Structure formats: C-alpha cells, structure tokens
Amino acid sequence: MPDKFFPREDIQELRNNVNLKQLIAGLGLKIDEKKSRKHEIWTHSPLTEDQTPSFHINLTTGSWYCFATSQGGGPLELVQRRYNFRINQACQW
C-alpha cells in the first residue's frame, strides 16, 4: 500500500475516533466472551500464536496490551504491529 501523508492532527483525530469494535472485527479477532467484561475485551493475540486469550483491550481508554509479547499501545499501534506498517500506512488502513 503506498504511503499517504497524514498530518499529526489527523493522526490524533484517528486515534481518538477509532471504533474499537470495528477494529477488532477488521483484524479478525474472536472475543473470549467468558473472560471479557463490559469495558474490556480479551482475545487471542493477533501478534503471536498464543494458546489462551492473552490480548487485552480496554474499551474505555482504547489501549491494548499483549501479555504474550509484552507490547501495548493504542489502536494505530496495534495495526502497525499486526501488519508491520508505518504510521501513515496504519492510518490509511
């Protein structure tokens, strides 16, 4: 995918307005209903092949943490790490 330039303000706006449920669906993540709660989702990591749900998404803050890889961040960083994208590619995705 060719890089499209996103100004800093647009990147921040994307971070603030990402629909996390759409992002989860777009990444093909299957939610672990037993472990998840109202404001948090647990799933298998999209960054590694874990055997148990080790990937946590906080729906209130939009942050995530992968206990299998000890990585975390926001929605754009998740897309970056999942697809090995640069920030502008993640924004375009």
Average pLDDT over all residues of the chain: 92
pLDDT band at 21 (very low <50, low <70, confident <90, very high): confident
**Phi and psi dihedrals of 16, rounded to 5?**
-75, -20
**What local confidence, expressed as pLDDT, does residue 6 receive?**
85
Query: Euclidean distance between the first and final Cα of the chain, in Å?
Result: 9
For helices 75-83 and 8-17, what crossing angle results, to 10°? 100
CB 52 within 8 A of CB 20: no
**What local confidence, expressed as pLDDT, does residue 79 receive?**
96
pTM equals: 0.86
Distances (CA, A) of 61 to 4, 5, 16, 40: 27, 26, 9, 10
| Alpha helix positions (H), 19-86 | 20-26, 75-83
